[in-house]
Amino acid sequence: MHILISNSSKEPIYNQITEQIKGLVLSGELKAGDVLPSMRQLAKDLHISVITTKRAYEELEREGFIFSVVGKGSFVSEQNNEMILEQKRKAIEEQLLAAIQNSKEIGLELTELQELLTLLYKEDT
């Protein structure tokens, strides 16, 4: 399990942790039933405070990505991947709609927008 924390990022650290663990669950790297490091162990390994990892785990728990058993630790929950992917798809659609709106305002043609999208998509990898 890899988690990278950026101290210069605007994102709060607990958020960086939750987003990365969600990513690991969605990509299948973390599977249902997998055990997560203890909050204290993770804090030590990442050189951050326990209360930060605690908050991250609490958020993950609230969103249903993990569950905790007292005295045993935290585990990855059974995921309803369809629903999560559907949510993502919806978010993408909305963002694309905004981009199309903006394009129309300045008269950007569909082909030009497609080119831009292709360019950006490739650049990001």
Q: Does 55 bind another protein (CB under 8 A)?
A: yes
Say if residue 1 is exposed, middle or buried (CB neighbours under 10 Å; 0-12, 13-18, 19+): exposed
Q: Which residues of 35-56 are buried (b: 16+ CB within 10 A; e: fewer)?
A: ebbebeebbeebebeeebbebb
50 versus 99: smaller Cβ distance to another protein: 50
Q: Does 99 bind another protein (CB under 8 A)?
A: no
Stretch that binds another protein, among 6-14, 25-33, 75-83, 103-111 (CB under 8 A): 6-14
Tokens of 33: 């039933």
Smallest gap from Cβ 62 to another protein, in A, equals 16
Q: Does 35 bind another protein (CB under 8 A)?
A: no
- Residue 40 CB partners (closer than 8 Å, separation 6+): 50, 53
- Residue 119: Cβ within 10 Å count: 10
Smallest gap from Cβ 107 to another protein, in A, equals 27
Stretch that binds another protein, among 25-33, 36-44, 79-87, 115-123 (CB under 8 A): 36-44
Tokens of 93: 């659609």
Tokens of 60: 């993950």
Q: Does 49 bind another protein (CB under 8 A)?
A: yes
Binding site for another protein (CB under 8 A): 7, 10, 12-14, 38, 40-41, 43-44, 47-52, 55
